[in-house]
Chains A and B, each alone.
Chain A
Amino acid sequence: MLSKTYIPSIDVDALPCGIVSVDENGKINFVNNYICHLLGYSNEELLEKKVELLFTISAKIFYQTHFYPLVKLHNKAEEVFFSLMGKDGSHVPVIGYATKTDEYICCVFVPVRERRKYEQEILQSKKTAEAAIEKNEALTQVKNELEFQLAESDRQLTMLRQFNEEYIELNRIISHDLHEPVRKLMVHIDRLFVEENITKEKIESSLQKMMEFCTRLRQLTISLQQYVSVDVLQEAMVNIDLQQVIKKCFDIVATEDGYTGAELRIENLQEVEGYPSQIERLFCEIIGNSFKFRNEDVPLKINIRSTIFSDNIYKEIKDKYKYIDFVRIEITDNGPGFPAEYNEYIFGLFKRVRLDKNGLGFGLALCKRIVERHKGSITSKSVNGTTSFNIVLPLKQTTL
């Protein structure tokens, strides 16, 4: 026959560990003597207080971000390291355990002062070892950087090839486009010299034509010079007030065009680093485009706004990340737009969508070149009578 086992009734206050119970609102509803003694509080000083009172600041964050979610989701937590804070501000390293019922979370804290010292030693040696590895990592990094340089060169080679192709194209078209007005000029000059008894009307008509050809020649040479100078122009990089530049460009375009019904709305424009004459040219072209292709039935409205966001500067190489600030400038107008399939095409050199309009098919190619030289990008979108250009530029060229 078994003798009756003696079961002592255990007094929680006599247990060699701190016991804290916390209700759903995070308030302490029970503490035992051990924890009061450990932290230097009386029982009354802790009851009904937020459990955070027991923690150091970092432990408070840890409790909210790790401990509480863990207990809430798994109904328990084991072996969690914490720093408790005594009434006098002293830190007490503890290991915590917790179980959760519907009404409360019961936590047990055991001080680990001695054990903590070992752990810190171990952590320290781990850090020393890691430092050595990091040195090695620096080497790996150098290797990676080198690889990047190679890839960068590769990218530049591609760009060079594109430029070469463009120059060949440019050369071919210019030798025709430049040549043609010159030839016609000569025809008229010849007529003026050779034709006898030439009437006043004929002289005037010839002069008129000659003027037109000269104007076209002038336009071509100026455009050409600007197109080429994107790559050769020696100009200082400065901070550009976009608001100012865009207003100026709008005025230039409006004066040139003679159309006075246009409305420009700009919001939130920032400063951006760049080559001032190029940025000005860029916006003259974009705004000029809105004027040139405006809808004749309604007054032209141009909206320009910008947003700053961060993006990775690495576009070509995988797994390289460096986030810097970019500005996205959205230019929207109420023009008739163009079919969506031309989104890319319009940025090609001498590519024209509207053959009924005068133009060289030059402006947007120039824009693309300017934007790319600023390590940015330009895209267009035309939906339901709204045409928009998105220009993305790094806020600071020097951080690249």
Chain B
Amino acid sequence: MKPNIFERNNIKVIGRGSTPMVFAHGFGCDQNMWRYVYPAFQNDYKIVLFDYTGSGKSDLNAYNAERYANLNGYAEDVLDVCKATDSKGCIFVGHSVSAIIGLLASVKEPEYFSKLILIGPSPRYINELPEYTGGFEKKDIEELLLTMESNYIGWANYLAPAIMKNGERPELAGELAESFCSTDPVIARKFAEATFLSDNRADLKNVKHSSLIMQCSEDIIAPTAVGEYMGKHLANSTLRIMKATGHCPHMSAPEETIQIMKEYLDNVNMN
């Protein structure tokens, strides 16, 4: 039986426009993170919001450790969502790791995309000095995994070694959604690994679509050098350095985010 993608990925379709605009959340969060941004586009676009399988209010039972150990597994989620919502030629808006996931999906099935808006993208988080500065060492990422692990022992009777499916304990899912957006420690860890240990530099040259790279100032997760690297290696890309600092401009500086997105879309549409 075909999975119901609307349920699996908690898809929401809103807006009065016909051109689809698909918003993909980053690691550690869910579609809620877009709530300061998408309303600015809902008059002109068909807004598609979703949670990756394993995040937010998605169907955790549909999670497959093999599939989601690889960002391509997430890229298939994006394509599934595009197909389920009939969103050919969409404007894809991806934050952080989702920027890369979107790129992978656009290479795989180009007809589902027209433009790619990439917020704080990084093709590789780990340094490979001297050629490449991603910002982190492998040990930093291992520590991050530990930090995440420590944050999950607080809740639930997670001391039980078995990897529990939330299907058996539905009360957990609801309760946890209120704390972290990524609810399952095993899934969150896998997502972190897929995100921070991937190397997608070689994929950049395969991207054909027009893209906007939104680079925050002082972003420790995707430093400016990484944004510049993206700009250099993505054909057809526009790099915009934002006044906003940190890694989440769509939450900390939604106005600037919206303005830059609109400028880019107006510009591309004119040419």
Contacts and interface: CB of A to CB of B under 8 A. Distances in A.
B143 A64 contact: no
Contacts of B136: 57, 61
B221 A72 contact: no
Interface string B222-234: 0000000000000
Nearest to A308: B206
Nearest to B247: A64
B130 interface: no
The 4 lowest CB-CB distance pairs between A and B, nearest first, are: A129-B161, A65-B28, A58-B143, A58-B144
A126 B27 contact: no
B56 to A, nearest CB: 11
Interface of B: 26-29, 32-33, 35, 64, 66-67, 69-70, 72-73, 75-76, 96, 104, 107-108, 136-137, 140-144, 146-151, 153-154, 158-159, 161-163, 178-182, 196, 203, 206, 208, 218-221, 245-248, 251-252
A307 interface: yes
Interface stretch (A73-81, A200-208, A238-246, A281-289): A73-81
B245 A64 contact: no
A79 to B, nearest CB: 5
A61 B73 CA distance: 23
Interface string A84-126: 0000000000000000000000000000000010010011001
A309 B179 contact: no
Contacts of B151: 62, 66, 80-81
10 contacts: A25-B252, A26-B245, A50-B245, A64-B248, A70-B181, A74-B178, A81-B147, A122-B153, A133-B161, A307-B206
A111 B174 CA distance: 29
Interface in A298-324: 307-312, 319-323
Contacts of B178: 74
Given A122-B159, A311-B72, A321-B73, A57 B154 contact: no
Nearest to A319: B64
Nearest to A93: B150
Contacts of B150: 81, 116, 119, 123
> Which bracket fits the contact residues of A?
35 or more
A148 interface: no
A81 B147 CA distance: 7
Given A58-B140, A65-B221, A133-B162, A70 B180 contact: yes
B36 to A, nearest CB: 9
Contact of B221 (A64, A132, A321): A64
Given A130-B161, A309-B104, A321-B67, A57 B247 contact: no
A308 B107 CA distance: 8
B28 A69 contact: yes
Contacts of A123: 149-150, 153
Given A58-B141, A65-B96, A133-B162, A81 B154 contact: yes
Given A83-B147, A122-B153, A24 B252 contact: yes
A72 B141 contact: no
Interface of A: 24-26, 50, 52, 56-62, 64-66, 68-70, 72-74, 78-83, 116, 119, 122-123, 126, 129-130, 132-133, 307-312, 319-323
Contacts of B26: 65
A65 B252 contact: no
A321 B158 CA distance: 27
B32 A66 contact: no
Nearest to A50: B218
A69 B104 contact: no
Contact of B66 (A56, A58, A320): A320
Most buried by B among A56, A64, A73, A319: A64
Contact of A59 (B147, B154, B248): B147
Contacts of B69: 321
A61 B144 contact: yes
Contact of B179 (A70, A119, A133): A70
B147 A58 contact: yes
A322 B70 CA distance: 9
Given A81-B151, A122-B153, A133-B161, A66 B28 contact: yes
A52 B108 CA distance: 37
A49 B245 CA distance: 13
Contacts of A66: 28-29, 148, 151, 180-182
B140 A57 contact: yes
A52 B67 CA distance: 34
Contact of B147 (A52, A82, A311, A312): A82
B32 A60 contact: no
Contact of B72 (A50, A129, A310): A310
B9 to A, nearest CB: 17
A84 B169 CA distance: 34
Contacts of B73: 321, 323
B147 A62 contact: yes
A138 B150 CA distance: 26
A322 B29 contact: no
Given A57-B143, A62-B147, A307-B206, A321 B66 contact: yes
